[in-house]
């Protein structure tokens, strides 16, 4: 079998003015106080995305609070300025669906002076009640994936198990399911009770209510899996919510070329198999991202193609004998009486059956016919294919 498949081809444009709430976005909030602990109202707070220089501003309210919702997950520089205080600067790295609550304490001094805060400790979420885990970029790229289906990484989350072995019935069979679908149960819920979102949009197969294909790993930034007490906006499913975030362009051009190869030259032989696995699989592609206009609009493009060449095992099948092809079934069915299905009258010696369907006759011409006089026929079908001018057979 020789199968070619373009797994994913996408172009994404990001425009600074077009930010909106979507699954996977992050929030930066906090309270600004002075050295005595009193809140500072009217302080100017600026949040700048480090990779694109896109910024948003806010002013603290009467309670000294500020809030920046619906931010793409990445690293930000938070700057706070107020008359009579030194400028406060802090870098904040956020993964998908995270909320960071900052306690900003300003110091007395000139506005030209700066206080830079560096954080390395893991922050505990004190703003929302959901249980979640983020499969970050490093695990997406570094962990081995058979077939490079990033949806399999959902199984890294506590409480998530594969449901295929349990005959869950979530999938509709090999001939009906969308490639890349995974049957995963979370905390005992059915596999069709997981909500999948891709950059804020629904990413589910409406027939079986499981995931549509994830972006291939090189086009995927990260994704979060919320397993309990998630927000009401995700209330359509009881099991879990998976928010997938794709890469986007930045102010710098970046890209890569890749290929993952699997064939018998690299495979080890299974202990119980007589030969090395003959599967040949090539997955290759490229990504590129950068600015359309610096600080305002960006683009990202990714493409991957998969070529699978495999050899099927030989298959034995019973085929008609030469006598059968002539309508004589007496030799293969000596103890069975064949009757006309319309008149129910038996055929003499089980021979001369007719009329014969012309479609069946046409198909029978394509079958190999055993030697005349044979009482039964069997054949071993062998799949042949040609690749780059070289013929192979299984």
242-267 pLDDT tens trace: 999 999 999 999 999 999 998 888 88
Answer for the pair 186, 239: CB distance below 8 angstroms, yes or no: yes
Looking at per-residue pLDDT, the higher value among 104 and 192 belongs to 104
Considering only 57-66, 71-80, 181-190, which range has the smallest mean pLDDT?
Answer: 181-190
12-31 pLDDT tens trace: 555 443 444 466 899 999 99
Average pLDDT over residues 320-349: 72
What pLDDT is recorded for position 112? 81
What pLDDT is recorded for position 167? 44
| Rounded-to-integer distance, Cα 201 and Cα 8, Å | 17
- DSSP code string of 304-328: EEEEEE--PPPEEEE---HHHHTT-
Using DSSP's 3-state secondary structure scheme, residue 330 falls into coil
Token readout for 29 is 């909030």
What pLDDT is recorded for position 386? 33
* Cα 188 to Cα 10, 33, 155, 158, 230, distances in angstroms: 35, 45, 13, 12, 16
Looking at per-residue pLDDT, the higher value among 116 and 41 belongs to 41
Length of the chain, in residues:
394
Burial class (CB in 10 A: 0-12, 13-18, 19+), 259: exposed
Token readout for 248 is 């986007």
Measured over the CA atoms of residue 264, residue 270, residue 271 and residue 274, the dihedral's sign is negative
| Rounded-to-integer distance, Cα 266 and Cα 279, Å | 11
The pairing of strands 204-205 and 201-202 is unpaired
Answer for the pair 222, 140: CB distance below 8 angstroms, yes or no: yes
What pLDDT is recorded for position 390? 33
Position 359 pLDDT exceeds 60: yes
What pLDDT is recorded for position 168? 43
Q: State the Rg of the chain over Cα.
A: 32
Picking from 123, 129, 128, 132, the residue whose alpha carbon sits closest to that of residue 222 is 132
The pLDDT mean for the chain works out to: 80
| Rounded-to-integer distance, Cα 235 and Cα 237, Å | 6
Answer for the pair 310, 387: CB distance below 8 angstroms, yes or no: no
Alpha carbon of residue 301 to chain centroid: 17
88-107 pLDDT tens trace: 999 999 999 999 999 999 99
Percent residues over pLDDT 70 in the chain: 76
Position 188 pLDDT exceeds 50: yes
CA dihedral 45, 50, 55, 61 (to 10 degrees): -20
Contacts 24+ apart (CB under 8 A), 170-177: 170/208, 170/209, 170/210, 171/208, 171/210, 172/207, 172/208, 176/207, 177/205, 177/208, 177/210
Residue 325's contacts (CB-CB under 8 Å, 6 or more residues apart) are 364, 369
Could you tell me the domains of the chain? Answer: 16-117 (2.60.40.10), 131-246 (2.170.130.10), 315-393 (no CATH)
Answer for the pair 211, 242: CB distance below 8 angstroms, yes or no: yes
| Rounded-to-integer distance, Cα 370 and Cα 352, Å | 20
User: Which of 55-64, 329-338, 346-355 has the largest mean confidence?
Assistant: 55-64
């Amino acid at each position: 079998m020789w199968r070619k498949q373009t797994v994913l081809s996408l172009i994404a444009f990001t425009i600074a003015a077009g930010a909106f709430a979507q699954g996977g976005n992050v929030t930066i909030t906090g309270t600004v106080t002075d050295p005595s602990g009193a809140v500072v109202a009217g302080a100017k707070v600026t949040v700048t995305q480090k990779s694109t220089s896109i910024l948003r501003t806010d002013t603290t309210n009467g309670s000294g609070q500020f809030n920046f919702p619906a931010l793409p997950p990445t690293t930000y520089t938070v700057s706070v300025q107020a008359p009579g205080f030194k400028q406060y600067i802090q870098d904040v790295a956020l993964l998908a669906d995270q909320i960071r609550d900052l306690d900003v304490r300003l110091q007395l001094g000139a506005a030209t002076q700066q206080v830079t805060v560096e954080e390395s400790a893991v922050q505990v979420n004190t703003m929302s009640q959901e249980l979640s885990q983020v499969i970050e970029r490093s695990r997406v790229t570094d962990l081995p994936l058979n077939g490079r289906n990033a949806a399999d990484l959902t199984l890294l989350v506590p409480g998530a198990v594969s449901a295929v072995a349990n005959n869950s019935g979530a999938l509709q069979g090999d001939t009906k399911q969308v490639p890349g679908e995974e049957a995963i149960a979370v905390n005992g819920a059915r596999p069709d009770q997981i909500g999948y979102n891709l950059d804020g949009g629904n990413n589910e197969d409406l027939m079986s209510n499981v995931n549509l294909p994830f972006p291939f790993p090189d086009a995927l930034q990260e994704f979060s899996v919320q397993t309990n007490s998630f927000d009401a906006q995700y209330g359509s499913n009881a099991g879990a919510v998976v928010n997938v975030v794709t890469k986007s362009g930045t102010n710098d051009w970046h890209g890569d070329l890749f290929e993952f190869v699997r064939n018998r030259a690299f495979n080890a032989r299974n202990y119980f198999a007589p030969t090395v696995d003959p599967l040949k699989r090539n997955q290759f592609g490229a990504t590129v991202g950068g600015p359309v206009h610096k600080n305002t609009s960006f683009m990202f493009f990714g493409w991957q193609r998969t070529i699978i060449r495999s050899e099927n095992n030989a298959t034995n099948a019973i085929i008609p004998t030469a006598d059968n092809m002539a309508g004589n079934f007496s030799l293969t069915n000596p103890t069975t009486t064949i009757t006309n299905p319309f008149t129910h009258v038996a055929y003499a010696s089980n021979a001369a059956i007719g009329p014969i369907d012309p479609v069946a006759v046409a198909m029978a011409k394509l079958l190999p016919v055993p030697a005349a006089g044979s009482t039964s026929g069997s054949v071993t079908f062998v799949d042949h294919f040609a690749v780059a001018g070289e013929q192979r057979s299984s």
